[in-house]
A and B are shown apart, each in its own frame.
Chain A
Amino acid sequence: MSRVEIRIGGLGGQGVILSGILLGRAASIHDGRHATLIQAFGPEARGSACSAQVTIDDDPVDYPYVRQPDILVVMSPDAYQIFASQLKPGGILIYEEDLVTPGPGLPDGVRCYGVPATRFAEELGRRLVLNIVMVGFFVGVTGIVSREAAEQALLALVPKGTEALNRAAFQKGLEHGLEARERTVARDPAASAPRLG
């Protein structure tokens, strides 16, 4: 697979950067490919808009920034406002459906996948794991990193004693993602064609 560019946006504290680290680690260490993570850096990195850029490639990543993401993951309305128009036509939008309402202004052919990640996380007992639900959902929808790699990265990163909770959050997101993808393919078989990854 050639270069895939991913942007993740949300609010500081939602685990945006950790989501990027998870995906990058999964792709580069556990899937044996190449990944580069760049995080938005500066005063905006706390409390308000926060974003991460992940580029995954079979070859070493040369240009380090995301220019036009193939996949946009948004966890806040602000992130949607800022980044939605930058998505590649035909790309994938993944959003927190209780927080973000995709509106007009998306490039042509973008497929949208929503997940109530915060609600799922609360049902699991810790709102904090909403980003892990999002990552699981991302893996289910896109398949860009393998499920095994994502789980290995997850276990390498989360604090000791929280493995079960994080696994459950990942699993919840993953299942929801796989279902969402199947529904989309049922409606529009073209969606299954070049599954990214």
Chain B
Amino acid sequence: MKKTEPKILSKNLLKSPTGIQGFDEITGGGLPTGRPTLVCGGAGCGKTLFGMEFLVRGATQFKEPGVFMSFEETNEELTKNVASLGFDLEDLIRNKKIALDHVHVERSEIEETGEYDLEGLFVRLNYAIDSIGAKRVVLDTIESLFAGLPNQLILRAELRRLFRWLKEKGVTTIITGERGEETLTRQGLEEYVSDCVIMLDHRVNAQTSTRRLRVVKYRGSMHGTNEYPFLIDEAGFSVLPVTSLGLKHIVSNKRISSGITALDAMLEGKGYYRGSTVLVSGTAGVGKTSIAAHFAEAACKRGERVLYFCFEESPNQLMRNMRSIGIKLETWVKKGLLQFQATRPTFYGLEMHLAVTHKIVSVFKPDIVILDPINTFVVGDKDLEVNTMLMRIVDFLKANQITALFTSLTSSQGSLESSDARISSLIDTWLLLRDIELYGERNRGMYVLKSRGMANSSEIREFILTDHGVELREVYIGARGVLTGSARMAQEALEKAEVLSGRQDIELKKRDIERKRKVLEAQIIALQADFESEESEALKTIETRQDALKRLGQDNINMAESRKADNENINISNPKK
């Protein structure tokens, strides 16, 4: 008890890391040190494993030996069960890092006669703790006592004493409890253990099971309150810390090629942003996987690592199919740069997929992750959950600067855009593939629906799969709509003819105008000539008239002189003065 006092007095609650992947993140460091924690849940939800991993990791990673007191499984069973997780209990026991104690409670062997207490349990526990200097204790599942001992009054009083005693002892304890109908545990253990309660859940939805973990209560500490999916596999427990992610990831300005030159050209000639999320959606058979394969190949050529989740095809089938368009993925698989991960979406629940993705990505450390296709997750009415899962995946990948490419199969009914609208907000670059059916022919068209942070082309391109990969062609866009394939060719020929005839027209017009101009010019010249002759005639007439007037004036003067008229009159009548 004295040992723990300074710990309790310190400002922050001391925590014992569990070493369980993700769990320490959501609890901000682990379980409360020196206090009991209740782990409850239904049958088969992983309570025992949780406890065992807490002990094993404590012993191996944090130098804290632990005691496992089992009320259900024998030591041998327990050792065998956890061996599948790679825990060598026998070795740990030999090295005095872990002590197992199996408490066998059998109702039929027990007769109650009068007063008793559970001191025997205390003694055994105390002995086990002291024998290895344990700092951690797991009691799994103490509720078995309720089945074995009829006198509940004694039992409850003793349990209360036990938990108090454990606290005084300063050991970090996990007590497991079976989930009850309306209470957290069948026997109301939460009444005694009030510092930290963790609920494990194992539920089946649409025939797939999902394990979830929730921190119901953590006295004196902040903790994530969500339900976190978790996974039990050959490496033990892993909990998915989703809230630790957010919109705080670093963004990159680097660009990476999509593997298709023409597509790069549509994206400012540089391709996708590194760490962005790309969605390729389209109807069946439009070449979504081909785009993904191109991207994968280009990345591998750059020496990057690619993780390819295929949910529809087997890796071999996919590689064979891609060979037909000239992409040899097997080379990169051999080099270890490309890893396929093929599972049916229905194989396990969404959270499980998420957890698996999380795990594999953490192990493989890829630069690029491809999920092909994502919409197969949508089984029944699970849109919201799928969306949440994808958001988590996107956040996780972004936080790790991993470029993600998702493909999505959209139904041909209705608008192509709307079917993926829900996940649109998660997507940075969205390529839409659509088949264009015209004149008895089906062709593929592609366009960039959106691409954040770049001036992408808004054109629809015709998408052609050739034996050397994907090619993009300009499509005919005109008054008659978008034409592809032979219709495009026909239209192009038609246009050529139209152009030719147009040119002829122009020639004709030009000549016509030339001719008209010449006529006009001739007319102008003629008019000018007319005018000039008229003008000269008119000038002549004017001259004649003026002469006549002059002469008349002179005559008047002459006449006046001859008549000897007054000077005054002469002056007035003289027009020249």
A and B co-occur in one complex: no
Chain B contacts to A: CB under 8 angstroms: none
Chain A contacts to B: CB under 8 angstroms: none
